[in-house]
Structure 1
Amino acid sequence: MQIQILPTWDGLTLSQILKDLFHIGKKARHEMRMAREVLRDGQPIDFEKPLSSGDILTFSLHDNPITATKAPLDVRFEDQHLLIVNKPVGVKTHPNDPTETNTLANFVQFHLNQSESGTAMPVHRLDQTTSGLILFAKHSLSLAALSDKLMKRQIKREYLAILDGVLEGDRTINQPIGNDRHHSGRKRVSPNGQLAETHIHVLEKDKAASVTLVRCKLTTGRTHQIRVHTSSIGHPIIGDTLYGGQERTKRVMLHAERLYLSHPFTEKNMTIEVAPGADWQSNKKSFTTL
């Protein structure tokens, strides 16, 4: 894997770049230094020597890939550092144990193996019942940098949802989310939970069908956040029976539509967008003209 030193990194040492930009821990930095597997012009690099804009560094990273499974994959962006794919509804993001091999991460690993171009490392996740964009790192440096951006809320995500009932105007829901002690698989608004904020923008209303199409913007990214927050105001997502939504469809009407980020290795601003697929459209037609 190669990276090119950007003008904004000019004069920094590799130690500084790994620590401050990619957020690589002290132990991992020490192991890289001792392995002498970071090269410039074919020679091991001095980690404390200032680098110049345009320098190209070659890294030998020993990441452990998961089991690869062949399956169709809708890739929306890819380079040597990261991959953005459109997850179909009904597919898990990643395996919970090694015996699971039919998850999106397994499919991504098969895709990467075709060009020996990395390891499938999801930066965030989507529920199995949600479709849309997911960001994968292709190596450990990328995962560290992207995870730090996610933690600092520098990766923005927007979702489409169809809600039960007519929502009269835009809403911002700022309610903490915690575990539901009465149901192990469910979350709830809880004063002792984690801070969570969702912005809801009304796009269209169908008063005859009593549903509302909305776009949800996340400030935080808690498990089931949109599902919990919309349910808490009396407008659960259509099809989301876990949180009180009417079972008018064969799927939960929630789709991760947009992803915004600054690329950690090029600093270019990226906007990736994907419209809901045919299954969303066919399910929607069964109950609304939206």
Structure 2
Amino acid sequence: MLTIEILPAWQHLTLTELFRDTFHLGKKRRHELKMSEELTLDGKSQPNWDEKLSAGMRLEVPFQDENIALAEKGPLDIVYEDAFILVLNKSAGVKTHPNKPNETGTLANSAAFYLKNDPNSSPYAVHRLDQETSGLVLFAKNPLSLAAFSWLLENRDIHRRYVALAGGRIKQPLTINKPIGTDRHHPNKQRVSEGGKSAITHVTPLKWHQNENTSLVELTLETGRTHQIRVHLSSIGHPIVGDRLYGGISRAKRTLLHAKELELFHPFFDKKMHFHVEPPKDFRLS
């Protein structure tokens, strides 16, 4: 059972408005909760969904573990946790989540093991990082928070910043606005394509390593396309060091891309939150 205290910002909303407009829970899920005798408001079962709420009320919301990923013990670097979300620092070489039902060895498998004794929580990846990319990943812990944070992501209200070591010298800030689509000649590769989906990446040079002819750059995304940063940097002639798929020089053990910052509005606490992790030790030339 998930317990939610009604915040002052929500008073005078109805339950319908809270779940629909604040948490962005889908119509089917809202109907299931409305019919459930387990959902209570201040201890009252099946409350009136059209009455105004008051600050301080306690809402009990039933959710069951849906076994999103098989539980498998593994290393887990927890940056932040509450009843709604889990922010993890992913190591390079680890997938964010399984691509097949019985797949193991992913970050989601380790998170499922960590949460296995909590009947109200399962790890739902709100976004993902490529296997070779390290850094911050946001997981929701139940369908309600998944709906809320997925809506924020879709509406570009979750902000992510990355650092990468790119080949060559990038002299000044620039914005790469090029659509991205699947490369029909390579099923695991993306490419800049006029028929692709809109993709916008902002690039800020931080340091040029003259002897190595590489540039440390900071990147922010307005969209979240598959391999977006890798494709965009390659498209301007500055592929990421170690990124063999997109033409990067092979002077690193992995693609040198790291998700260092995550900024979001937490709708269940009505406040903004910021998380930061420095690149790991393997973020370097070999």
Match of residue 56 from structure 1: 58
The whole-number CA distance in structure 1 between the counterparts of 2:119 and 2:255 is 35
**Paired amino acid for 2:15:** L
Counterpart amino acid of residue 99 in structure 1: N
Partner letter of residue 195 of structure 2? N
User: AA paired with 2:138?
Assistant: L
Contact in 1 for aligned 2:163/2:217 (Cα 8 Å) = yes
CA shift digits 1:229-265 (9 cap, x unpaired): 0000000000001000011111100000000001110
Name the residue aligned to 1:5.
6
SS at match of 1:105: helix
SS in 1 for 2:204: strand
- Given that 1:63 and 1:140 are in contact with CA atoms closer than 8 Å, whether structure 2 keeps it comes out as no
Alignment partner, residue 73 of structure 1: 76
How many angstroms does 1:210 deviate by?
0.5
Q: Which residue of 2 aligns with 1:186?
A: 189
Asked if structure 1 preserves the Cα contact closer than 8 Å seen for 2:26 and 2:147, the reply is no
- TM (normalized to structure 1)? 0.95
2:229 is aligned with 1:226? yes
Identity across the alignment (%): 49
Aligned to 1:29: 30
Partners in 2 of 1:12 and 1:63 — Cα distance? 29
Name which of 159, 172, 179 aligns with 1:169. 172
Letter in structure 2 aligned against 1:213: L
AA in 1 matched with 2:66: N
Aligned equivalent of 1:46: 48
Where do 1:210-289 residues align within 5 Å? 210-280=213-283, 283-284=284-285, 286=286
- Check the 8 A contact 2:136/2:277 in 1, yes or no: yes
Alignment gaps of 5+ in structure 2: none
In the alignment, the residues of structure 1 paired with residue 130 and residue 165 of structure 2 have an alpha-carbon distance, to the nearest angstrom, of 16
What CA distance in whole angstroms lies between the structure 1 residues aligned with 2:4 and 2:146?
Answer: 14
SS in 2 for 1:278: coil
Asked if 1:146 corresponds to 2:149, the answer is yes
Change (3 A) 1:63 1:113: closer
Please give the root-mean-square deviation of Cα atoms over the aligned residues, in Å: 1.1
* Distance in 1 of aligned mates of 2:276 and 2:114: 21
Q: CA deviation at 1:116?
A: 4.5
CA distance in 2, matches of 1:90, 1:103: 9
5+ residue gaps, structure 1: none
- Matched to 1:195, the amino acid is S
CA distances 1:204-251 after superposition (whole Å, capped 9, x unpaired):
001111000000000111100000000000000000010000111111
Deviating beyond 2 angstroms after TM superposition, the runs of 4 or more aligned structure 1 residues are 114-117
Q: 1:125-182: per-residue Cα shift (whole Å, max 9, x none)?
A: 0000100000000000000000000000000000010001111111110111111111
SS in 2 for 1:46: coil
User: How many Å apart are 1:117 and its aligned residue?
Assistant: 5.2
Instruction: Kindly provide the amino acid, as one letter, of the partner of residue 216 in structure 2.
Output: L
Whether contact under 8 Å (1:188, 1:228) holds in the other structure is yes
Give the letter aligned to residue 77 of structure 1. Answer: Y
CA contact (8 A) 2:77 2:90 kept: yes
Please give the alpha-carbon distance, in whole angstroms, between the structure 1 residues aligned to 2:17 and 2:141. 22
How far apart are the structure 2 equivalents of 1:149 and 1:234? 32
Note the C-alpha offset of 1:37. Answer: 1.8
Amino acid at match of 1:183: H
